[in-house]
Amino acid sequence: MRIRGINIDINIRSELEQYEFHRARWLPDKLIASSPFYRRDNRPSFFVDLREDSPYYGCWKDSGAVDPEWTSGNFVKLLSFLRGEDYESTIEYLLVTYAQEWDGSSDNLTLDTSAFEIKSVRQRIDSNILAAYKWRHPYFSKRGISERVQREYGVGYDMRSKSVTLPWFNADGTLANVKYRCTDSKIFWYAKNAVPVSRLLYGIDIVYRKRAKTAVICEGESDVLSFAEAGISAVGIGGSVFNAIKADLIVKSPIERLIIGTDNDNVGRKIRDDIVAHLAGKIDLAEISWDERYKDANDVLVRGSIEELRTYVEQAKSIGFTFFTFEM
């Protein structure tokens, strides 16, 4: 597969097997499943080409798509959706993982879209774009998030695209990116020409504003908002990867004790291990042990209660260095 002018050998089946597909059928030449983009789809309307010798290797098509933008696409577009991050961050992940020519060593560089070149990453975007999103949709209120919390985090609504808007801020409060999430499907996207979310933490500006010494780290924005509803400071990874850049953001922040509250699934457990690997010895770490009934913080808030969510945080167990084993 050729990405940004570089030929890289991606194990597409291995990448996709990390995620759950509804009614999935893994055939030698393709994956067939219900649409991953629409909650109500129960038909085998979606497929991915798994033929390594095919010019369409990794490409996908969804015959049940409502939005023309999501009827078909390449592998990077699909993986960015599954990882819950922007397109550029997924490009960076694939290059770091599979391209031996690039080590991703510079914290302030990203790949040019035309070739294997590097350029400075944009540090902020114009906050005036948020003026058009000063509307409210019941999307988050139905998920237990109050008006108070939505205002604090700047949640809005884009009437044109019919999507809720979630601004991502830098630590200094400047606008870095905006996530747009459709209210009637799982489809989301990010602002163009913005800071990649691989270099950000959702809610880090609130941590600085409150000088929070203890905070929870979780995956998605809805979980950050759920912890905020319970009066608990939190930051969100915004995807399925915790990297050195995000670790550095935490080390430099007011946080002294970090409680890991990632999702109660295989991906969440892998993120938990990555967080420990990056931060053990640099900051006090603890972790939440979710009951098997719950998937994440928002699930507890909706199906349980605020008090139960607070109890999970209060009962978080410290992580010692016994997590690591060294061979001499």
- Predicted confidence at residue 298, as pLDDT, reads 97
Final residue of a structural domain among 71, 100, 120: 120
Determine the average pLDDT of the residues in 31-46.
86
Same domain for 274 and 155, yes or no, is yes
Same domain for 71 and 145, yes or no, is no
pTM: 0.76
Identify the CATH number of the domain in which residue 292 sits: 3.40.1360.10
Same domain for 27 and 155, yes or no, is no
Cα-based distances in Å from 82 to 5, 61, 138, 148, 211:
24, 15, 24, 30, 33
Distant-in-sequence, close-in-space partners of 146: CB < 8 Å, separation ≥ 6: 229
Same domain for 44 and 92, yes or no, is yes
| Continuous segment of H or E residues that includes residue 76 | helix 75-83
Same domain for 174 and 241, yes or no, is yes
| Number of residues in the chain | 328
Print the domain residue range for 85: 2-120
Same domain for 173 and 315, yes or no, is yes
Domain assignment of residue 328, yes or no: no
Total structural domains within the chain: 2
Mutual orientation of helices 244-251 and 266-279 as an angle, nearest 10°? 60
The least confident of 29-38, 86-95, 303-312 is 86-95
Describe the strand order of the beta sheet including 317-318 as a list of residue ranges.
234-236, 214-218, 257-260, 284-287, 317-318
Could you tell me the pLDDT band of residue 43, with boundaries at 50, 70 and 90?
Answer: confident
- Predicted confidence at residue 157, as pLDDT, reads 97
- Predicted confidence at residue 191, as pLDDT, reads 92
